[in-house]
Amino acid sequence: MSGENTPDNTDYDSDNSAISESEIINEMTINEIKKENKEKKNKMKEYKVIKSSDPNIEIELKRRHTKKPKKKIIIYKEDLESSEEEVEIVYKNKTAGRPKTNKIIKYKNDKNEDVDDRLNADKVEIDLTHTKELNAKQLKLLKLQEKLTELEVISGKKLRGTKKGEVDRRQTTKRTQKQIEATERLVLSNKLKRNQKLKDKTMEAVEQTIKTLSQKAQETKQQAPAPAPAPITYNPLLDPDL
């Protein structure tokens, strides 16, 4: 019975053959899908090439890496084990803005103290000890100082420079007639205000002195002793009995 091909055995064999064929088909489809995915990935990795007007030159387009690399702090284990003292990790932030540079031009007063404004300074010092090479901005400042000194000698008054490295035109340009009239009106009004303030102060001072003198007079009057009665003298001519 075992060697005979029964209908049940034939069905079993046909089932096995069918399963094996379906498995093979599935494996083939999976391999094809994987192959397609790999090809797609390779295509994505390939960079796009654009032809230019020159046949010998080809333009290749690439993507920038926007992700910044992570910063790593390395501490060796041997250093931690060898040192008996506690290790302190200090986090320092970078200061915002540009690094400060030493000033080549310094304004100073009579006491040799630094002053910010040129108009308040009594002398100008140029210090080039800490600079090896002068940049364009520093050269412009030196030329400005030279020009200011020349104009100060001519005009006879102190002049100021601007941040742009130019002479302040408010001190050098000629004033218009309207500006002159406005300053005259301002000077006159200030003079009248000062005179009125002086009058008010003098009136207050006079009133205060009168008040203090009257108070002192009253105090002295109250403190003074009462006058003694006059002594009675005998006059025989006025005696009616005689």
pLDDT at 82: 61
Please give the biggest Cα pair distance in the chain: 205
Dihedrals phi, psi of 5, to nearest 5 degrees: -95, 95
CB 149 within 8 A of CB 130: no
Provide the pLDDT for residue 220.
81
Please report the DSSP string for 126-154 in residue order.
Answer: E--TT-SS--HHHHHHHHHHHHHHHHHHH
**Residue environment code for 98-110, b if the CB has 16+ CB neighbours within 10 A, otherwise e:** eeeeeebbebeee
pLDDT of res. 202: 92
Are 45 and 63 a contacting pair, CB within 8 Å? no
Domain boundaries, the chain: 10-61, 105-172
pLDDT along the chain (242 residues), means of 10: 46 48 65 72 60 78 72 74 67 77 83 82 82 83 85 81 78 83 93 93 90 85 73 72 68
User: Residue 68 has which token pair?
Assistant: 């910044």
- Measured on CA atoms in the order 194, 196, 200, 203, is the torsion positive or negative? positive
